[in-house]
Amino acid sequence: MTNVLEWLEHMEGQAGEKIAVADPKEKYSFTQLKTYAQKSGTYLRKWMTGTFPVAIYMEKSCATLSIMLGAVYAGCPYCLLDLRQPDVRLRQILKVLQPEVIVTKEENLEKIRNCVDEMGGDVRNTTILLAENCLNEMEIDQKLLKQIRKKHTDRNPLYINFTSGSTGLPKGVAVSHRAVIDFIRIYADTFDITKEDIIGNQAPFDFDVSVKDIYTGLLTGAKVQIIPREYFSDPTTLMDYMADSKMTVLTWAVSAMCFVSVMNGFDYRTPDTVRKVLFSGEVLPVKHYRVWKKYLPQAMFVNLYGPTEVTCNCTYYVLDPADKYELTDVIPIGKSFPNERVFLLDEADQEVTEAGMNGEICVSSSELALGYYNAPDKTAQVFVQNPLNHLYDERIYRTGDLAKYDAEGNLVYISRKDFQIKHLGHRIELGEIEVAANAVNGISRSCCIYEAEKERLLLFYTGECEKRQLIKLLRGALPPYMIPNMALRLAEMPMTKNGKIDRNKLMKLYEESLHARHFKK
């Protein structure tokens, strides 16, 4: 197998009328999904000369998925563009992508057209197409689509997802068909996802968590039920939708799970058909896990770890049903999936094997991304030869994440290397301060950042706990040099588009905090 479209075509042949994907407005069977994808592929090729990425400027929906797969039929990778991102970032992404075509809907046409026009010579001559025209192509050119498929190899990029770069410029992670094919087969098998399942899609389509939803559905025949983004600001609508849709599998970002527990969503209605909850993106505080476990006692809970560059995930940890975890515990990220070697390197590039010793997480696998699109220098910095292997070519990805082994041999995430600081002569992991804060009664979430110029530890948090009480309790849990110099209570935690706490915004809030406009009294 060399192309993910083979899964779609196989399922269409096996169960064409079964619903493949649904959103609140419409639903597509596997036959409809394949037909719309082939129509889109035929239409797209009329406007293209090469195999440059197809940029898609649309909210996630059944139609959006059809056009994504249509790009694949056209022999191109797709790249989803977030409608809510600032124009500056959108222009940065387009400059990297240099797409021949952008697909959008009528309501977004003027905005994306203005953005492209403002770029002038920074982007190639780009044609903006309407999604409606892609889906309404009159005739599928099967001969053309077969010719395109003959030229395809499993090393062709399937999609490009943009992540935040350390320099402030977004990086486009290009992931191949082979990487997705290898990972999704193992993922679906490991967690026994079948055609009977209904997958509740939380993640945006430009975030790689959605890759697991989409392609597990195509492989197994499970139904993918798309949850609109706006439902995650309305807990009653969300819980009704989950329960009414009879969702069985949730592959969610930690921030989405925290929203449900903080907003007491389960007190309103419990979607009791859910049997698997797989979460990733950040460390899930134990207190939030306990809420989910209380209302879904029969469900399996799995902590997943892996950057976009390793194709979704490389490790997993199935939580103990007995709930043996203390509030101050960090849920392990576990052990590697089959066909992935995950190991730790110290600062001298020696392998770390002893429990309790820190090292950088490194990954060797056929499932690594191809690299960063149109950015060979950035690719060369982190996709490197394994320093432990001098006998043959073995490409690894250096994640920049720190971890250690526990007594059972599970990996435990510590923090980003960037978040390991030197303060008052001591080496500190900011994540350790966050774990202690999250364990305090009355704290829902916390994030610690370091203001290097003034050597100040800044703790941001949400919840009802008073600042003085929080600091008092932390003095009983942390050594003096780890006590935050300032605690700032927020009405809500700022988040990135991928559902992680936005540390850059927190620093800006700190800089504005003298006016106390963003903080609760």
pLDDT at 518: 46
Which residues contact residue 156 at a Cβ distance below 8 angstroms, ignoring those fewer than 6 apart?
51, 75, 77, 176, 177
CA dihedral sign, ordered 264, 267, 268, 271: positive
Residues 484/474, Cβ–Cβ less than 8 Å: yes
Coil, strand or helix: which one is 11?
Answer: helix
Query: How far is 290 from 296, CA to CA, in rounded Å?
Result: 10
> Which tokens is 362 given?
């490194």
Q: Which of 268, 289, 265 has the alpha carbon at shortest distance from 279?
A: 289
Low-confidence ranges of the chain (pLDDT < 50): 517-518, 520-521
Taken in order of first residue, the domains within the chain and their CATH numbers are: 1-152 (3.40.50.980), 338-416 (2.30.38.10), 424-515 (3.30.300.30)
Q: How far apart are CA 130 and CA 104, in angstroms?
A: 5
Query: Cβ–Cβ contacts within 10 Å for residue 165, how many?
Result: 14
3-class SS of residue 479: coil
**pLDDT score at 248:** 98
Q: What is the pTM of this model?
A: 0.88
Closest of 293, 209, 215, 223 to residue 255, by C-alpha: 209
pLDDT tens, residue by residue, 307-355? 999 999 999 999 998 878 999 899 999 999 999 999 999 999 999 999 9
Q: What digits encode the pLDDT tens for the residues 83-128?
A: 988 898 899 999 999 999 999 999 999 999 999 999 988 888 899 9
Q: What pLDDT does 108 receive?
A: 97
Hey, what amino acid is at 184?
Answer: I
Name 492's Cβ contacts closer than 8 Å, sequence gap at least 6.
462
3-state secondary structure at position 395:
strand
